[in-house]
Amino acid sequence: SGFELSLQKRINSFFSYDLGYSHIHVEASGDNDVSVVVSRKNQQPNGYRFGVHYKNRNFKANLLGTLNSGLDRRCYTASSYTLIDFNTSYSFDKQTTIYFKINNLLNQEYQEYPGDVSLSKYFPGSGRFFQVGVTYSF
C-alpha cells in the first residue's frame, strides 16, 4: 500500500518547480525470516523529489533531486541517500539540440536495490556521470 503527493507550480514565464513525496509499505507473510523479506521489498519507503526548471526560448535547464529514507540497514548500506542531477539543452532549430547532463552530481554512494549488507553482498548505485550529446531528428 502507499500514496503519492505532488505539487507543480509555474513561478513566471521562465521558472517552474515541482515537489513530491511518496510512501510505500509492503507486507509479507510466511514462515521464513519475514522481516528481512519485507525490508527487501520496501525499496523506497519514503521518497522525496524536487525539481527546479528554467526555460527561455531554445534554452532549458533542470536541477532535480531525490531523497530516499527509511531503508533497512540489514539490506542497505545506509538508511537514506540523496541524489542531485542537472541537465541543460539548447535547440538550434526543430531538428537539432545539444545537451549536457550530470547524474549524481555530488557523487553520493548509495544502493538502489537491496542486498545482504552483513555479507557485503549488494549492488552499489552509479557514481557521478557526465554526458554531452547532440540529437538530430529526421
Which pLDDT tens digit goes with each residue over 29-49?
655 554 555 555 667 789 999
For the whole prediction, is pTM greater than 0.85? Answer: no
Say what the pLDDT of residue 121 is. Answer: 77
pLDDT band at 115 (very low <50, low <70, confident <90, very high): confident
Name the average pLDDT for the chain. Answer: 88
3-state secondary structure of 133: strand
Q: What b/e readout covers 88-117, taking b as 16+ CB neighbours within 10 angstroms?
A: ebeeeeeeebeeebbbbbeebebbeebbeb
Considering the chain, what percentage of its residues have pLDDT values greater than 70? Answer: 88
Say what the pLDDT of residue 35 is. Answer: 55
Q: Could you tell me how many residues make up the chain?
A: 138
CA-nearest of 64, 96, 101, 58 to 82 is: 64
Considering the chain, what percentage of its residues have pLDDT values greater than 90? Answer: 63
**DSSP assignment, residue 58?**
T
Sign of the CA dihedral with 99 first, then 21, 124, and 32 last? negative
